[in-house]
Structure 1
Amino acid sequence: MISVKNVLVVLAVAFTAYLAARGLTWGAAPVPQPLIIVVTLAFYLATTWLCIFWEPARRPDEAPVPSAAVDADAASASASGATSARLPDLVERVRSPHRLPPVAQILALACAVIVPSAISLAAGEASRLASFATWYLGGIGALMTIVMVRRRPWTAWTGIVLLAIASMVWMGPLNALALGLVGSIVWVTCAQLLVFSMDRAARDTSRLTRLQRAATAWQTSQVVRQRERRVQVQKALAVAGPVLTRTVAQGGALTDADRLEARIAEGRLRDEMRGPRLLDDDVRAELERARRRGANVTVLDEGGLDDVDEQTLSIIRGQLAETLRSASSDRLYIRTSPDERVAVTVVGRSPSVGGPSDEDAVDLWREIPHPGAG
């Protein structure tokens, strides 16, 4: 698959090869040391292409990600609506090439030092301003542009300084500036600005993605809460609807039986809101039976069963229903427990023997353990 990176690599290889090929076009001009020119061109091309293609060794926990796979990930993320969740990873994976390894940096600086002097000496004094002897002004500039793109700005600018010194020594400051040194400086400057802009765009994209993810999470939580409220309202209407209808029809003049039904309906609603994970048909039936005999029942789930699966919950609910079936306390307190061994605690209290008292006696204490807990 054709990607931007592959296109840029091909262009860099072709352009540097073209610049180096100019060094072989001396024609009939006298060249004292042609072999040195050929060897220098080979050294330049080897160093330049090494800087283009050499990727540093990856850590064991990293896996190479081909550009085609990145494009496929982006397409699938967009198609599935998960772009905001995966975009930071995609940005990081296509953001930029890896930093140039130190060995390649040294070779690039060696090129900036050796190539201008070698070409100038091999071409001879009479041909130092010919096109085949000045190609290195653009060639070294292109090499330092590649080094800049590979995240080594100090090395790139050091190479430009070395190129400027060598070219001005061999051909003079005005000739060096007129024949290509200015262009090389402009290339490296533009490359640095481009890299800076890309990094800033990547940071902004990552920041905006985090904000979008937070907004999406907040919106999702609001949707979930609205759905839960609708479910609770529907349950409330199903439980309290008949009682409210009778109350309105009778003008508020309720019989003792109606008041009992209203109290049971209120308790049922509280159970559904405070401890829905503790409830099944058997537990609801036992809670209603306890209220009908006059007991005051409080059910409270404080999050101790959030990570419990349905099969385990059914076992806990069965034991809770069995405990309530045998309970005769006037007040029942049913609460989940944060203890990793105890799932639910059931406490029953009744007035002390001998008359009413502010301190009721505890006549029921049952700890329902988590199934499988030691």
Structure 2
Amino acid sequence: MISVPRWLLMALAAMFSGYHIVLGVSSLSTEVAASPWPIIVALVLYAVATVLSLWPARRARMPDWLAALDLAVGIVLPVLVTSQLDPSRDNGYATWYVAAVGTLMTIAAARRQLVVAWAGVIVLAVQTVLWAGPLALGQLGVIGSLVWVGIAHMLSAALASAARATRRYAQAEREAAAWQAAQDAHLFEGRMRLAQTQRLASPMLRRIADGGHALSDVERAECRTLEAAIRDEIRGRMLLTDAVRAAVRHARDRGATVTLLDEGGIDELDEAERDRILSQLADVVERTRAERIIARTAAEGSPVAVTVVGLSGGNGETVESEDAEVELWLEIPRAG
């Protein structure tokens, strides 16, 4: 793709505008104009409007006040110049204002002030017809000014459409990259969980698979503990660290039932905040003497990160057991 530097376009526009000023100044040396002063005023107004319009700015779109100034200059220029000219004569370079207004309105169109640009050249066309008749539209170059504004309009619309498409493609690329990163993270996490499960369960599974080996009560209890640990790896996800695993194992060794439920409430936290929360969770699980411990992540928008409930008594393993008494209720805050 070939890109044209912005400064080069501005330099070309400045050269065209300066050429119109040169033509206007040269027309003062002729005897075509009745008085040079209105033309001098027109030249000054055109030079000021052009400099302001081409002055480097951060925004590509021309400010509304500057567009209004350009439109005013585009309306005043023909009136000032033609007031000193005879429409029945060949005025030569004295009609420099036609190309000057066309150039100024083309700059406005290129800077996304399309309404102002079209209004300026239409007023120029109407003024020309009223001053010298319809045939003057072609003779003085008004049609060329209309064409240039039309070209600038089409280019501006095409560039705006390309910019919108570029933003859409960039957004789609970011979303695709985020989706791919999430998929890779899920795949990595799945492999890590599978490796952890295999490390925990493989020795016991080999003993179970050994047909000549009868499991003792201790081994059966170990199987239940392993099954709970594997369930933690599946349902606990981000709640698990080495400290949490050790605290949960100690709680189960003393006979407590521990349930870890990660519903994604702490996925977006940074590593430091998550370590703080999980360190507090491990400490609570280690210290509590409750018979059943439930740790669950809160909703993502909640100020609470993890809720820990400890129950004692009752004859069931559900939180809703009427005989269970709440021994522990702790909400670990999301922010330290």
> TM-score band, normalised by the shorter chain?
0.7 to 0.9
TM-score by length of 1: 0.73
Letter in 2 for 1:114: V
Query: Unpaired runs of 5+ in structure 2?
Result: none
The yes-or-no answer on 1:147 pairing with 2:108 is: yes
1:348 matched to which residue of 2? 312
1:88-120 residue CA offsets vs partner (Å, 9 max, x unmatched): xxxxxxxx6233323x34433333333223323
Tell me how large the CA RMSD over aligned residues is: 3.4
The yes-or-no answer on 1:156 pairing with 2:117 is: yes
Size of the aligned set, in residue pairs, is: 321
C-alpha distance in 2 between matches for 1:215 and 1:315? 36
Q: Structure 1 residues 45-54 or 160-169, which shifts more?
A: 45-54
**1:229 CA drift (Å):** 0.2
Query: Unpaired runs of 5+ in structure 1?
Result: 56-64, 66-95, 353-358
Letter in 2 for 1:272: E
The 1:245/1:45 distance shift into structure 2, 3 A limit, reads same
C-alpha distance in 2 between matches for 1:3 and 1:212? 26
1:55-88 residue CA offsets vs partner (Å, 9 max, x unmatched): 6xxxxxxxxx5xxxxxxxxxxxxxxxxxxxxxxx
2:166 matched to which residue of 1? 205
Q: Decide which of 88, 95, 98 is 1:134's aligned counterpart.
A: 95
The answer to which structure, 1 or 2, has the higher relative contact order (CA under 8 A, 6+ apart) is 1
2:284 matched to which residue of 1? 319
Work out whether residues 87 and 132 of structure 2, in 8 Å CA contact, stay in contact via their aligned partners in 1: no
C-alpha distance in 2 between matches for 1:49 and 1:250? 95
Secondary structure of the corresponding residue to residue 173 of structure 1 = coil
**1:54 CA drift (Å):** 8.4
The yes-or-no answer on 1:98 pairing with 2:61 is: yes
1:127-276 alignment runs, 5 A limit:
128-250=89-211, 254-276=215-237
Work out whether residues 117 and 170 of structure 1, in 8 Å CA contact, stay in contact via their aligned partners in 2: no
Secondary structure of the corresponding residue to residue 330 of structure 2 = strand
Q: Decide which of 11, 34, 41 is 1:39's aligned counterpart.
A: 41
The 1:279/1:50 distance shift into structure 2, 3 A limit, reads closer
1:25 matched to which residue of 2? 26
The 1:268/1:301 distance shift into structure 2, 3 A limit, reads same
Percent same amino acid at aligned positions?
33
C-alpha distance in 1 between matches for 2:142 and 2:212? 99
Work out whether residues 335 and 344 of structure 1, in 8 Å CA contact, stay in contact via their aligned partners in 2: yes
The 1:120/1:227 distance shift into structure 2, 3 A limit, reads same
TM-score by length of 2: 0.80
**1:205 CA drift (Å):** 1.5
C-alpha distance in 2 between matches for 1:277 and 1:213? 25
The yes-or-no answer on 1:298 pairing with 2:263 is: no
Q: Decide which of 255, 267, 275 is 1:310's aligned counterpart.
A: 275
